[in-house]
Amino acid sequence: MISNLEKEITLRFLKARKNDGFLNVISIFSFIGISLGVAVLIIVMSVMNGFRTELINKIVGFNSHLTIKSYDQLIDKSKIESNDLKLISQYALFSNSGEAIILKNETSKGIVLRGYQSDDFSKLEIIKNKNFKGNKINLEKNYISIGNELSFSLNLKIGDEITILSPSGVQTIIGSMPKQKTFIVTSIFNSGLAEFDNNIALINLSTLEDFFGFKQEQRNLEIYLKNPKNIEKQKIVFQKVYDQELIYSWADMNSSLFSALKVERNVMFIILSLIIIVAAFNIISGLTILVKNKTKDIAILKSIGVLNKSIVKIFFLIGIIIGTSATIFGIFLGVTFSLYVENLRQFLSSTFNISLFPEEIYFLSKMPSEINLNSILIISICSIFITIVVSIFPALKAAKLDPIKALKYE
């Protein structure tokens, strides 16, 4: 427990005096350093969390949440109706894919064709996107839906015809020749990820199977879940039902990307924590100088019967108050900047005529930010813990002061 005397002396020592000018400067720099360290950590963590969430939303919005592949027979879609799977799944549909070459105006480009049944085309999340252009229902015969980036690179628009070559060969008099088919562009989608928009196109499933020579037994079953973010646990549930098939999730397909993001976030946390540590060492300097300046006061307190443990508490409290108040102010700054980070980016870009967070590199049109309460809690605990550690040494030094020697020349 902290007594009223200890509280009163602590507050009195915290008050500025004229002869404590240099000490006050050190205390102010300690406060500013810890506040900025906490604020920068919160801002960086919020931006990285926001970037990860936006990336997940775009990947999940374009790809299936779970994909089931069969080894030798057609997948039984009716198993989805079992209670365990029905509770967590939204819908399921058959698909297949293959690589081909697209030809347009003497330009050739490799492309991945995905095939869906015409009735399932309108169920895709990418079709519900407000940036989708063209026919949302019909994906019959020789119709094709291409990405926004591909339409720009090949100068294509709705209604244009394109020729696609399949690696599947056709036997002719002069030997095996690749299959060639003409498709009509009926729609253009925009996933928000240039890699998808430039390299993937959607066609009818039956047309794709005929074009590549696939059998129906080779079809994949795409599963769309109600909560795609909690993917690992739901994948296990599906594996119990489809125990003879291969199952992989959107997280498995992009594991290297998200592992890199996780490592980068952890490294940034460690590096930026050094700001708080450096600022916290100023507290040691400040408290050490305070002990020296208050030598006479400490000696008087000891001579009137104040215990050593009370002296320790007083100087320990001073360090804690500086560190805690700086942490709280840093949280306020960090949360405020995280909420308006996009407005700040736009202001800096327009003022200095520079491109911050370019879309072609980061795949996003604006700087994302997601404030995570757990991250703020961890940062706050780390900051206060560092403050507690650095406050111990000056507090113990003050308690060891000999009152006789301190008052000898007074």
401 in the same domain as 266? yes
181 in the same domain as 117? yes
Average pLDDT over residues 276-302: 75
119 in the same domain as 187? yes
Q: How far apart are CA 258 and CA 269, in angstroms?
A: 16
Total domains in the fold of the chain: 2
262 in the same domain as 213? no
189 in the same domain as 116? yes
Average pLDDT over residues 1-8: 72
**Alpha-carbon distances of 62 from 57, 129, 147, 310, rounded to whole Å:** 9, 10, 11, 64
386 is a domain residue:
yes
- pLDDT reading at 69 higher than 80: yes
* pLDDT of the residue at 356: 66
Q: How far apart are CA 391 and CA 323, in angstroms?
A: 9
pLDDT band at 52 (very low <50, low <70, confident <90, very high): confident
208 in the same domain as 302? no
pLDDT band at 114 (very low <50, low <70, confident <90, very high): very high
18 in the same domain as 99? no
Better pLDDT: 331 or 402 = 331
The strand pair at 175-189 and 161-172 is best described as: antiparallel
The strand pair at 246-249 and 66-69 is best described as: antiparallel
383 in the same domain as 266? yes
208 is a domain residue:
yes
The strand pair at 133-134 and 66-69 is best described as: unpaired
**Could you tell me the residue range of the domain that residue 298 belongs to?**
4-56+257-407
228 is a domain residue:
no
Which tens digit of pLDDT belongs to each residue from 329-377?
A: 999 999 998 888 888 877 777 777 776 666 555 556 677 788 888 888 9
* pLDDT of the residue at 121: 86
- pLDDT reading at 256 higher than 70: yes
Burial 131-157 (b: 16+ CB within 10 A, else e): ebbbbbeebeeebbbbbbbbbeebebe
Of the three residues 220, 245, 273, the one that is the final residue of a domain is 220
47 is a domain residue:
yes
* pLDDT of the residue at 367: 77
67 is a domain residue:
no
Residue 280 exposed, middle or buried by CB count within 10 Å (0-12, 13-18, 19+): buried
* pLDDT of the residue at 76: 84
266 in the same domain as 166? no
pLDDT band at 201 (very low <50, low <70, confident <90, very high): very high
Tokens 């909420």 -> residue: 339
Evaluate if pTM is beyond 0.85: no
* pLDDT of the residue at 73: 82
Of the three residues 220, 249, 274, the one that is the final residue of a domain is 220
Of the three residues 201, 220, 239, the one that is the final residue of a domain is 220
Compute CA 28 distance to the chain's CA centroid, rounded to the nearest angstrom.
34
Which tens digit of pLDDT belongs to each residue from 73-87?
A: 888 888 888 777 888
Weakest-pLDDT range from 254-268, 288-302, 378-392: 288-302
* pLDDT of the residue at 129: 78
- pLDDT reading at 140 higher than 60: yes
**Alpha-carbon distances of 130 from 81, 118, 133, 136, 348, rounded to whole Å:** 31, 20, 8, 11, 29
74 is a domain residue:
no
383 in the same domain as 269? yes
What mean pLDDT value characterizes the chain?
81
252 is a domain residue:
no
- pLDDT reading at 308 higher than 80: no
189 is a domain residue:
yes
* pLDDT of the residue at 328: 92
209 in the same domain as 266? no
- pLDDT reading at 4 higher than 80: no
* pLDDT of the residue at 172: 58
374 in the same domain as 262? yes
Compute CA 359 distance to the chain's CA centroid, rounded to the nearest angstrom.
16
